[in-house]
Structure 1
């Protein structure tokens, strides 16, 4: 389904693309130059996820982060890579590492959520 372009969609996508890191809804809300309510931001983020423009990362604390994975290899599905969460600067970034695992016979993977936690290269 073709969705119409709006200033809110453009602003959110530009912000996520420019940062190159995953951001939570509240972080996006704080960084927005335009006045946009929480419901609009969530609606846009969820539609971007449905359309495959963003992917959702759920950290170990249960908080959701959203990212445009500009560094990801096109051959790897957006949901099939690791993320790294820095305990010092609190950023989450996509890692160019494909997820490799094996499952018992009969299981089929649809989505992967792998978040590694530690200190990033910038804070080390």
Structure 2
């Protein structure tokens, strides 16, 4: 559920939902044109992560990408899966298989950032 909803945040969320892959702030800025400014996109994307609507991915190119969450909530935000960036087309995808990382006794995981780069099925 979208907290503190505005028309602008809804526009950004709709773009994120309709994306076929994870998107960066720059991608959304190009897509939305002059409808939304850079700072608003940045704040909205981060609030979506806080609300369990999206998750943030740190790519091997140093940029953050955002993907719409499926089956997540603010209290149960699960995205222990790999992300894949195609070196040819640049598409970033969530690989749906959940990963179980066994940590030593006493350790608690807060974040998982598994990243693979290579060539997607369309480009290989």
User: Which residue in 2 is equivalent to 1:12?
Assistant: 12
| Aligned residue runs from structure 1 range 78-93, under 5 A | 78-93=78-93
Q: Deviations over 1:52-106 (max 9, x none)?
A: 0000000122210001034x699x9432111111111111111111112222222
After TM superposition, which residue ranges in structure 1, 4 or more long, deviate above 6 angstroms?
A: none
Tell me the matched-pair count: 121
Q: TM-score, normalised by structure 1?
A: 0.86
Unaligned runs of 5+ in 1: none
Q: What root-mean-square deviation, in Å, do the aligned CA atoms of Structure 1 and Structure 2 show?
A: 2.2
User: Which residue in 1 is equivalent to 2:37?
Assistant: 37
Unaligned runs of 5+ in 2: none
Structure 1 pair 14/115, CA: closer, same or farther in 2 (3 Å)?
A: same
In structure 1, what is the Cα distance between the partners aligned to 2:69 and 2:123? Answer: 21
User: Which residue in 1 is equivalent to 2:24?
Assistant: 24
User: Which residue in 2 is equivalent to 1:46?
Assistant: 46
Q: TM-score, normalised by structure 2?
A: 0.86
